[in-house]
Structure 1
Amino acid sequence: MTSDSGKSANHPPFIYLDHIADTRFIAYGFSLENVFENSALAMLNVIADISGLSHEVEFQAEIFAPELEDLLVRFLSEILFLFDAKETLFGTVRVNALRKKEDGWIVSFQVFGEPVDSSKQNFRTEVKAVTYNGIRVEKTAFGFETEVVLDL
């Protein structure tokens, strides 16, 4: 699991919050790119222990959305789709570019990981979908913060 926290050395890149029947988290980052990376790592960490995964497999994608919150949902949903469709568990997420365009937002990113192997990897729970319930992306005094609810 790699990403710079975006908070002080004593603050984690994300925290989990109580939410009935789903999982809710807040991710932190010093930039929009960093908070998107940390949001993806938080989601992936719900699925399985992602520490120590190799970079054996790599995928890249570009996502567009009219609003920043919609971009976050689509970004996380694409990573969840790649996990399911390519049967690959990702431990590293790299946002190469995240920018506002005239008609919306665009993010270009790479994910790195290894093929799913339940004998070697510690799976926790299935994430069915990324929801729009309570989704937020905010600028803070320390950088940026997202809040996401995952349907389990």
Structure 2
Amino acid sequence: MPFKIIDHTADVAIIAYGNSIEDLFESACLGWKFISLETQIENFELSKKFLFSSSSYEELLIELLNELNFQLYANKFVFLKINKLTLTKVDSSIQLNVEAAGQKYNPEIHTIKEEIKGVTFHQIKIENVNGIFQTKIVFDI
């Protein structure tokens, strides 16, 4: 599993892993999905593209996860997988370009397991530990 759920007082937290920064971002998205939803049928009928820019990988990751959360609750878009994810350095900032695949929320096939209010900056720090990128992510529930 590219992430593991860890104990955290009053919230839910994961440690996400990846062989690259891009893999780490995808693992974090899967961790968000695992905490948020139970999906009986995965039909990749929709895709959405997102573009973010920041000076740090940590901020980009938080923005992406908060966007997936927003898409679920505001637009009823259920994220299922990442089709494409690229990180590009542009001058003093980093651009994140993501294409996410999913489907329209349907209560007959989707169950909200945990309502995430937001993704926090608490204790987030992307590190390379022996060639594996990892970070702790705390979800406010």
TM-score, normalising length: structure 2: 0.92
* One-letter amino acid matched to 1:61: F
* One-letter amino acid matched to 2:48: F
- Equivalent residue for 1:147? 136
- Equivalent residue for 2:48? 59
Normalized per residue, which structure has more strand?
2
- Equivalent residue for 2:106? 117
Asked if structure 2 preserves the Cα contact closer than 8 Å seen for 1:52 and 1:91, the reply is no
CA 103–53 in structure 1, closer or farther in 2 if over 3 Å, else same: same
Residue from 130, 133, 150 that aligns with 2:119: 130
CA distance in structure 1 between the aligned counterparts of 2:133 and 2:40, rounded to whole angstroms: 24
1:94, CA displacement in angstroms? 3.4
CA distance in structure 1 between the aligned counterparts of 2:129 and 2:36, rounded to whole angstroms: 28
Residue from 63, 75, 78 that aligns with 1:74: 63
1:55, CA displacement in angstroms? 0.6
Stretches of structure 1 that go unaligned for 5 or more consecutive residues are 1-11
CA distance in structure 2 between the aligned counterparts of 1:51 and 1:37, rounded to whole angstroms: 21
* One-letter amino acid matched to 1:85: A
Asked if structure 2 preserves the Cα contact closer than 8 Å seen for 1:138 and 1:145, the reply is yes
CA distance in structure 2 between the aligned counterparts of 1:95 and 1:139, rounded to whole angstroms: 22
- Equivalent residue for 1:7? none
1:139, CA displacement in angstroms? 1.4
Deviations along 1:1-41, one digit per CA (max 9) or x if unpaired, are xxxxxxxxxxx200000011111100111111111011011
Deviations along 1:84-124, one digit per CA (max 9) or x if unpaired, are 22201111023431122322211101111111111222320
Structure 2 counterpart SS, 1:136: coil
Across the aligned residues of Structure 1 and Structure 2, the Cα RMSD in angstroms comes to: 1.5
Structure 2 counterpart SS, 1:45: helix
Structure 2 counterpart SS, 1:80: helix
Asked if structure 2 preserves the Cα contact closer than 8 Å seen for 1:50 and 1:90, the reply is no
Residue from 15, 28, 34 that aligns with 2:23: 34
Asked if structure 1 preserves the Cα contact closer than 8 Å seen for 2:119 and 2:140, the reply is yes
CA distance in structure 2 between the aligned counterparts of 1:94 and 1:39, rounded to whole angstroms: 15
